[in-house]
C-alpha cells in the first residue's frame, strides 16, 4: 500500500480519480469524452456553473463574491492581483513569510510600491510575524495563508487590517473554516488540495475591482472573466471537472467543518510524534505550525538517510523535504487519510525507538 504525502501535485480522493477517468471515456452517458466536447455546450456548461456555485456554497459567500476558474497557476495570480488592484503610484502591503510570499512581492513591485507589513525573515521563516503594520492607504494586504515550503500557517487571520485582504490559499484552501466573506480576494492553484494542475480558483469581492487606471489586457482583467461566467476563453475543462468532483467530495464528507476536524486530528498525531522523540526536531514555531505541511529534521545525516530509506521501503511517498529547507516534509492535505498519517507515525515511533 502507498501512503502519499506529496506536496503538490498531491493526493486526491480515489473516487475522484475513478469518476474523472470514466468522464474521459464517456462523459455522462453522452458517448463522448469530456475532452472532445465544446465548452459552450449543455454538457459542459453545467460543470462550470456547479463548480463555481460549490466554491461559494462551501465558503458561505453571498452575491458580492464571484468564483472564477482561470489558467496559469497561482504564479499567474502573483502578477494578476497587483495588475488589477494596485495603481502605479500606490502601495500594497505584503507579509514576507517565505518562498511563496517573496515571489508574490517580486511581481507586485512590477506594478506599484510594496510595503512589508510584517516579516518572518529573521527566523528563517520558521515563525510568522506577530504584529503587522499596514498603512491605511495601502491598496490591500496580501498574506500567504499556508507557506507550503516553510511549513507555517496563519492561525489568526488579520481580518481587521483596515484594507482589503488578499490571500494566496494555494496549499490550504478548503482545509478549514475561515470567515471567507472578510477577504477581498482569495486565490489558489488547484493541485495541492483541490484538484489537478492546470487551473486556479480565484474568489473575488466584486466591490474591490475597477479602481486601477492602467490598461489591463482582456484575458487578465478579472471583470471580463466575471462578465463571461468564467468562460471568456476555453477553460481547462479536465482540470475544472476534477475540481468539481473534489468539491462534491468535500461537501459529501461534511464540508469545511469536517475537513478541519480531520486535518486537526492528523496534524496533532504527527506533531505529537515529532515532539515525543528527540530524534526528530520540528523547525517551525509551535503556534505557527501548518496542519497541511509538517517540516522536521533528523540532525544525524546517517540516520536521516536511513529514515528516508525506511519510508521508501514502507510505501511512504513524498516525505523528503524541499531542497531549500532539507530534512522532511509531510503534506497532509484533505485527501490524505488519518490511517496514512497513523502508519507514518508508527514507523517514526519504531525507527526512533530503535535508533534514537
Ligand atoms: C504551489 C504554490 C504556489 C504556486 O502554484 P503554481 O500553481 O505552481 O503556480 C503558490 N503559492 C503557494 C502557497 C503554493 O503552495
pLDDT band at 18 (very low <50, low <70, confident <90, very high): very high
- pLDDT at position 92 is 98
CA–CA gap between residue 44 and residue 28 (Å, rounded) = 10
Question: Could you confirm whether 205 is annotated as catalytic?
Answer: no
Contact 183, 205 (CB under 8 A): yes
**CATH assignment of 255-355, among 1.10.3720.10, 2.30.30.90, 3.90.1150.10, 3.40.50.970:** 3.90.1150.10
Do 14-252 and 255-355 agree at the fold level? no
Give the predicted TM-score (pTM) of the model: 0.98
CA–CA gap between residue 241 and residue 93 (Å, rounded) = 35
CA–CA gap between residue 62 and residue 239 (Å, rounded) = 25
**14-to-28, 170, 305, 353 alpha-carbon distances in Å:** 19, 21, 31, 34
Using the mean position of ligand 1's atoms as its centre, give its distance from the Cα of residue 63 in Å: 28
Q: What are the backbone dihedrals phi and psi of residue 340, each rounded to the nearest 5 degrees, phi first?
A: -65, -45
* Closest C-alpha among 172, 209, 192, 199 to residue 83: 209
Question: Could you confirm whether 221 is annotated as catalytic?
Answer: no
Q: Whose CA is nearest to atom 2 of ligand 1?
A: 170
Q: Biggest alpha carbon distance in the chain? A: 64
Using the mean position of ligand 1's atoms as its centre, give its distance from the Cα of residue 39 in Å: 26
pLDDT band at 322 (very low <50, low <70, confident <90, very high): very high
CA–CA gap between residue 125 and residue 99 (Å, rounded) = 9
CA–CA gap between residue 53 and residue 56 (Å, rounded) = 5
Calculate helix-pair angle for 45-59, 237-252, nearest 10 degrees: 40
Residue 125 has pLDDT above 90, yes or no: yes
Average pLDDT, the chain: 97
Q: What is the pLDDT of residues 185-238, one digit of tens each?
A: 999 999 999 999 999 999 999 999 999 999 999 999 999 999 999 999 999 999
Question: Could you confirm whether 100 is annotated as catalytic?
Answer: yes
**283-to-24, 123, 299, 329 alpha-carbon distances in Å:** 43, 10, 11, 11
Using the mean position of ligand 1's atoms as its centre, give its distance from the Cα of residue 351 in Å: 33
* Closest C-alpha among 294, 288, 242 to residue 263: 294
Domain boundaries, the chain: 14-252, 255-355
- pLDDT at position 241 is 98
Residues 6+ apart with CB under 8 A from 211: 85, 87, 139
Q: Which atom of ligand 1 is nearest to the CA of 191?
A: 7
Q: Which of 7, 9, 10, 75 to mutate for ligand 1's pocket (most ligand atoms within 8 Å of CB)?
A: 75
Q: Which of 8, 120, 166 to mutate for ligand 1's pocket (most ligand atoms within 8 Å of CB)?
A: 8
Q: What class is the 14-252 domain? A: alpha beta
CA–CA gap between residue 356 and residue 352 (Å, rounded) = 5
Cβ < 6 A, ligand 1 pocket: 8, 73-75, 100, 144, 148, 168, 170-171, 189, 192
Catalytic, out of 14, 64, 156, 192: 192
Using the mean position of ligand 1's atoms as its centre, give its distance from the Cα of residue 189 in Å: 6
CA–CA gap between residue 70 and residue 176 (Å, rounded) = 23
Amino acid at each position: 500500500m502507498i501512503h502519499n504525502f506529496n506536496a503538490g501535485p498531491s493526493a486526491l480522493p480515489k473516487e475522484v480519480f475513478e469518476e474523472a477517468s470514466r468522464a474521459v471515456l464517456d462523459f455522462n452517458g453522452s458517448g463522448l469524452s469530456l475532452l472532445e466536447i465544446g465548452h459552450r455546450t449543455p454538457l459542459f456548461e453545467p460543470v462550470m456553473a456547479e463548480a463555481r456555485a460549490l466554491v461559494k456554497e462551501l465558503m458561505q459567500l453571498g452575491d458580492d463574491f464571484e468564483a472564477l476558474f482561470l489558467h496559469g497557476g497561482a504564479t499567474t495570480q502573483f502578477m494578476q492581483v497587483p495588475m488589477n488592484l494596485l495603481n502605479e503610484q500606490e502601495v500594497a502591503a505584503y507579509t514576507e513569510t517565505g518562498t511563496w510570499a517573496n515571489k508574490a512581492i517580486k511581481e507586485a513591485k512590477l506594478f506599484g510600491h510594496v510595503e512589508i507589513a510584517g516579516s518572518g525573515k529573521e527566523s528563517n521563516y520558521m515563525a510568522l510575524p506577530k504584529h503587522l503594520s499596514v498603512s491605511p492607504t495601502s491598496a490591500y494586504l496580501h498574506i500567504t495563508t499556508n507557506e507550503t515550503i516553510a511549513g507555517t500557517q496563519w492561525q489568526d487571520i488579520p481580518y481587521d487590517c483596515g484594507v482589503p485582504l488578499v490571500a494566496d490559499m494555494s496549499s490550504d484552501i478548503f482545509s478549514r473554516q475561515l470567515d471567507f466573506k472578510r477577504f477581498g480576494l482569495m486565490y489558489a492553484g488547484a493541485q495541492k488540495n483541490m484538484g489537478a494542475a492546470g487551473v486556479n480558483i480565484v474568489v473575488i469581492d466584486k466591490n474591490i475591482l475597477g479602481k486601477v487606471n492602467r490598461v489591463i489586457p482582456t484575458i487578465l482583467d478579472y471583470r471580463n472573466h466575471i462578465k463571461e461566467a468564467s468562460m471568456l476563453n476555453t477553460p481547462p475543462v479536465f482540470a475544472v471537472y476534477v475540481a468539481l468532483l473534489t468539491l462534491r467530495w468535500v461537501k459529501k464528507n461534511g464540508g469545511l467543518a469536517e475537513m478541519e476536524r480531520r486535518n486537526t486530528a492528523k496534524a496533532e498525531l504527527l506533531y505529537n510524534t515529532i515532539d515525543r522523540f528527540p530524534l526528530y526536531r520540528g523547525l517551525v514555531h509551535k503556534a505557527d505550525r501548518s496542519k497541511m505541511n509538517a517540516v522536521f529534521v533528523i540532525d544525524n545525516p546517517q540516520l536521516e538517510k536511513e529514515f528516508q530509506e525506511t519510508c521508501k521501503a514502507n510505501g511512504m511517498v513524498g516525505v523528503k523535504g524541499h531542497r531549500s529547507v532539507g530534512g522532511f516534509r509531510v503534506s497532509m492535505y484533505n485527501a490524505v487519510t488519518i490511517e496514512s498519517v497513523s502508519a507514518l507515525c508508527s514507523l517514526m515511533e519504531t525507527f526512533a525507538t530503535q535508533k534514537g
